Structure 1
Amino acid sequence: MPKMLPISDSVSRLRRSALRVLLLLLALGVAPHASALEEFISPLEPADTSSPRATLKSFRDNYDRAMRVYYEVRSRDLVDRAAQVRALRTLDTSKLPPAQARRLAGEAMILLYEVLDKVELPPYEEIPDAAAMLALPAGEPRRWRLPGTEFIIEHIDEGSRKGEYLISSNTVGRAKEFYDQARNLSYQPGAMEGFYEDIISEGGSWIPANVIHLLPDWAEDTLWGQAAWKWLAMALTFGVWLLSFYVLRRLSHPRDGEPHYWLRFLLTVLMLPLTKGIRWFMDQQLVIAGTVFEVVDTSILVLYYLVGAAVVLNLGAAVASSLISTPRVDKDSIDANLISVGTRTVAWLLAILLLAKGASDLGVPLAAVVTSLGVGGLAVAMAARPTLENLIAGVTLYLDKPVRIGQFCQFEDVLGSVERIGLRSTRIRRWGGNVLSIPNAQFAEYQLDNYNDAKYIWIR
């Protein structure tokens, strides 16, 4: 007959067994996490661009880390943003328009990765590292080209990225061309097949895929690189913008004919967030890509800066109107004209600077912008020379004050009283009652007799 153990010994054995099981479970659970900790990369960790080998490896590893889960699960929330930024940082984006650089670089990143997924890459050991690049003879370009392609990683010799090896700006700019050339090539094992096509056929978080699949079959057909439903959505979006512009313009120009400058300014301001919102919708929700994106986004940016310039001009008109409407300023005086012209001139200068900033953001070289402004300014100055002469003469009359409004004067054979001194012309009411209007440039050259300032008037 088996010997019975005391209850206390049985409990101790059960406890020891339970402890062993618990330790085993902990070991099994901690092992994967320990591996994950070893693979952890700080979000502040920069991309390694110390050599062509490091740059290519950093680009592929970070892109895969950022997009693999999204490719498999189709959830934008699972994209590793830090890894995505590191992958982007391996590209030379210096030749992209500043206002569109991040978006165009993101598209180029996906296209280039797909190209690399279709070509046979050499082992990393065969790609030159930093030591191999330093060993190159003096004067030889420090660059590496992927065999059989025009995919180039080159040394950056100037700018904020000086000393790094980046995927060349030419490679980035031709990413779509390379993608089209490799379209019929087979994917390498483990590649994210058709990822770019999937992205451009989908919409953003506001347009779920199940809603798109409810549309007719023709809506998903591709036209110029975009799904048909996206073309319809673009047309509707621009229609909303045009309708809003028409309504706000009608509101800012009441039927009473009186200009409401402050109302016009405020309504124009409303077009700025609307235009910016439409740009965001096209980019983040319709997910337009390729040349169509560049054309559409550039058009929206041009509209945005034009609206911004209109805001500045309307603000100048509103400020001038408010200053002139004060009781201390006579609306018909040269003071009112100076306020109006001065304020509007400042507004025009600011608007031109804003448009120049917009041109620079769209990738137009600053030297070309300055040259265009110089040539344009010279052409305007030559065309408006008579007007400018009259304006300068009007300011001279205002400062020197040889005559004032209401004073009696004579020049050549004209005798009369001054009714108005404007910035462009001066009005004289003659003895017979008729009014003579003389350009300021001509009036300033006359020898004036001001009878109001005379101590004596000799009468023969």
Structure 2
Amino acid sequence: MSRRFCPLLVVVFFVALSGDAPGQIPIESVPAKADATPAAKSENTDPTLAAELASPRATLRTFLEACRQEDMKRAALTLDISEMPGSDDARALASQRIAAKLNEILSRLLDVDLSSVPDDPEHPQAYSLVEGQDIPDETDIAALAAIKISRIPADKLWRFSSETVDQIDTLREQAKDRKPVTPGKAVQSTDLAIRLSDLFPNLQNKTLVLKDYQWICLAVLIFLGFLADILVRLLLRHLTVAWFRFMRNGEQRQAEKHVWRPLGLLAQALVWYGGIWLIDLNPLVHSIFGYGVKTLTVVSATWTAFRLTDLLSAYLARRAAATPTRFDDLLVQLLSKSLKALSLCVGLILFSHVFALDLWGLMGGLGIGGLALAFAAKDTIGNFFGSLTVLADRPFEIGDWIITEGVEGSVENVGFRSTRLRTFYNSVITLPNSRLTTAVVDNMGRRRFRRFKETIGIQYDSSPEQMEAFCEGIRELIRRHPYTRKDYYHVYFNGFGDNALNILLYCFVETPDWATELREKHRLFQDISRLAASLGVSFAFPTRTIHLVQSENTPTEAPQMGDPIDAGRLQGAEIAGPPATAETRPGPVVFTNP
């Protein structure tokens, strides 16, 4: 909770520093924004407004008519707020409340006679309401003399002077006990902030810039903001458990406590933002609090959008996990990143709007340096289109084992800029998406079957019958194995090795992942070892045979075979049998079921 008070304490600290003395706000502390006030840019003045403020009489008539119609926005245009500090919103709100207070003062002190008010646009001096008016109570002369209508040099229009605006609270305090000069005429303001101020007549003294009742209202407002935060998070936490049911373990339940924190902070900021409009703060203090609360609102709203995106992604990922394809897992990741990027852009736009930043000027500056930006963003744009290629062409999905650009690993994440692979060393390799548009991708994860190719060596003393039985036994193991491919396999005597008779084992297994492949390979090789033991076949290993010959022994004579060519042909014919014809030769290999 202490962290939450830090921004608030900083705001209060700067508010306290903004005054030169308790109860006094220096007008010079914030420069006047002449271009944002009614007294600015005469060339852009509305002709209707110019007519309504053309003379002291026209200005007073416009003010009284607007107050009679309860149009405080129009009445505020008759006030000179050029020297009022604060933001435009705060100044506009304060001017409307000042207009309401001025109307209440006039209702209590004077029944205005417009015919006695000068109607000359070139009236030589400021007009005071004591001039030519029938004042019922002479004690009110001083107060009415302070209410003046003067000509503003900037636009040559007549408005209630800035001195009158500055003294409005003092004048209202002097007139509060007077009865309306016109019996039955309501003088109570309808503004909630003014009514709230009237509820505390004994708490109007200023302490550190603000009145006592304003400090109390701010304390209550802070409490209500924290209460809204707690209630919103508590309510949404229960709704999350009831609706989504995705919290399963302790770690996820701990995450549930924080998932709605930004939304609670948003509710807190909204309560504060709405509350400060109900407290009659002076424009400077209102601006400081307003900027702080608006910034908090934008940040919390953007943070809330991020958390809601995470919540939606968790829900969609859970649904995607139940589908047989993994393409939707890729879509969930890209959707999550797209929504977060959109939330960030909206947050920046809101922030620029709050602080009145000139986005068009910024875009113009970007246009001047557009060429340099284009060169700098070349790789980024290429990566973006690479991600679109991955999305459209679908060369791989999340979890696939791929080999590309000399990189091998399992696809873990696909973003707008890069794709992350988890290698078999458990490291993470980041591959820019721009390279995927031209690279050759070998998707090992899309193999339906995984190949086993081994050379089994048996000893040279194995008989042909043992070799044939051993090969046929391995074929039978393949036919009976639950994961092997039954329509294509080869087990044959394939060569005379240096130390063994080589038998080729070539088959496929249908497994979804590498772990299952290793397990089934282990089972098949174990069965081959048992088969060799049962047939008396021994596996060969590198050996070297040394023959010791004594010189005194008589060498063994080679058998007499006459013509060697004829002898070879006779032995070959005896072993192979008569020549095979097209009808008697063995046909193609047929893979039979066990």
Q: How does 1:256-295 map to 2 (within 5 A)?
A: 256-258=250-252, 275-284=269-278, 286-295=279-288
Match of 2:350 among 345, 354, 357: 354
Whether 2:325 is the aligned partner of 1:335: answer: no
2:195 maps to: 205
Q: Secondary structure, in 3 states, of the residue corresponding to 1:440?
A: strand
Aligned to 2:485: none
Secondary structure of the equivalent of 1:258? helix
Whether the aligned pair in 1 keeps the contact of 2:421 and 2:429 (CA below 8 Å) is yes
- Residues 192 and 223 of structure 1: CA distance in aligned 2, closer, same or farther (over 3 Å): closer
Residue of structure 2 in register with 1:300 after alignment: 293
Cα gap change, 1:335/1:372 in structure 2, threshold over 3 Å: closer, same or farther? Answer: same
Give how far 1:304 is off: 3.4
Separation in 2 of the partners of 1:229 and 1:400? 67
Distance, in Å, in 2 between the alignment partners of 1:55 and 1:83 is 20
**Partner Cα distance (1:179, 1:276) in 2:** 30
TM-score, normalising length: structure 2:
0.43
**Residue 321 of structure 1 aligns to which amino acid in structure 2?**
A
Counterpart position of 2:224:
240
Q: Which residue of 2 aligns with 1:345?
A: 341
Match runs of 1:23-422 below 5 Å? 49-51=49-51, 54=54, 56-63=56-63, 80-82=68-70, 84-90=72-78, 99-100=89-90, 102-107=92-97, 109=99, 124-128=118-122, 146=126, 151-152=151-152, 175=162, 194-195=171-172, 204-206=194-196, 208-209=198-199, 211-213=200-202, 219-242=203-226, 244-245=228-229, 256-258=250-252, 275-284=269-278, 286-326=279-319, 327-328=322-323, 330=326, 333-360=329-356, 364-365=357-358, 367=360, 393-403=386-396, 410-411=403-404, 418-420=410-412, 422=414
Between the two structures, name the one with larger relative contact order (CA 8 Å, sep ≥ 6).
1
Alignment deviations for residues 324-375 of structure 1 (CA, whole Å, 9 cap, x no partner) = 3213374994333212212222232333333334334xxx445457679999
Residue 431 of structure 2 is matched in structure 1 by 440
Could you say if the C-alpha distance between residues 196 and 313 of structure 1 is closer, same or farther in structure 2, counting changes exceeding 3 Å?
Answer: farther
- Rounded to whole Å, the distance in 2 between the matches of 1:408 and 1:288 is 64
Residues of 2 paired with 1:110 and 1:153: CA distance?
25
Deviation at 1:152?
A: 0.7
Tell me how far apart the structure 2 counterparts of residues 395 and 437 of structure 1 sit (CA, whole Å): 22
Q: Match of 2:431, as an amino acid?
A: N
Alpha-carbon offset, residue 241 of structure 1: 1.9
Quote the residue 2:573 is aligned against: none
Deviation at 1:103, TM superposition (A): 0.7
Residues 223-281 of structure 1: CA deviation (Å, up to 9, x unaligned): 35532232233234224324543675688789944279999787755666654444444
Distance 1:426 1:368 in 2: 38
* Aligned CA distance change for structure 1 residues 449 and 311 (closer, same or farther; 3 Å): closer
Distance, in Å, in 2 between the alignment partners of 1:368 and 1:395 is 32
Q: CA RMSD in A?
A: 5.9
Residues 388 and 337 from structure 1, CA distance in 2 versus in 1: closer, same or farther, beyond 3 angstroms?
farther
Is 2:87–2:284's contact at 8 Å kept on the other side of the alignment? no
Amino acid at match of 2:419: S
The one-letter code of the counterpart of 1:87 is: A
SS at match of 1:194: helix
Partner Cα distance (1:240, 1:454) in 2: 62
How far apart, in 2, do the equivalents of 1:419 and 1:353 lie? 35
Specify the code of the residue in structure 2 equivalent to 1:241: G
Change beyond 3 A, Cα 1:346–1:224: same
In the TM superposition, what whole-angstrom CA distance separates every residue of 1:280-324 from its partner, at most 9, and x where no partner exists?
A: 44333x322242223223333333333433443344333333333
* Structure whose CA Rg is larger: 2
Give the Cα separation in 2 of the matches to 1:401 and 1:331.
Answer: 8
Change (3 A) 1:429 1:365: closer
Q: Secondary structure at the match of 2:281?
A: coil
Query: Residues 192, 265 of structure 1: CA spacing in aligned structure 2 closer, same or farther, 3 A cutoff?
Result: closer
Counterpart of 1:161 in structure 2 is: none
Q: How far 1:124 sits from its partner (Å)?
A: 1.4
Cα 1:369–1:336 shift into 2, 3 Å: same
CA distance in 1, matches of 2:255, 2:174: 49
Counterparts in 2 of 1:250 and 1:343: CA distance versus 1, 3 Å: same
SS at match of 1:87: helix
Structure 2 vs 1, CA of residues 333 and 105 (structure 1 numbering), >3 Å: closer, same or farther? same
| Aligned-partner Cα distance in 2 for 1:386–1:81 | 62
Cα contact 2:403–2:443 (8 A) shared by 1: yes
More helix by share: 1
CA contact (8 A) 1:309 1:354 kept: no
Q: 1:287 to 1:448 in 2, by over 3 A?
A: closer
**1:275, 1:304 within 8 Å by CA — same for their partners in 2?**
yes
Aligned to 2:488: none
Structure 1's unaligned 5+ residue stretches are 1-46, 67-78, 130-143, 156-164, 184-190, 214-218
Report SS of the residue matched to 2:277: helix
Give unmatched runs, 5+ long, in structure 2.
Answer: 1-46, 110-115, 128-147, 177-191, 238-246, 456-594
Please give the alpha-carbon distance, in whole angstroms, between the structure 1 residues aligned to 2:353 and 2:59.
33
> Conserved in 2, the CA contact under 8 Å of 1:91 and 1:166?
no
| Aligned residues of 2:266 and 2:301 also touching (Cα < 8 A) | yes
Query: Share of identical aligned residues, percent?
Result: 14
Report the Cα distance in structure 2 between the residues aligned to 1:82 and 1:259, rounded to whole angstroms: 54
Q: Tell me which residue corresponds to 1:70.
A: none
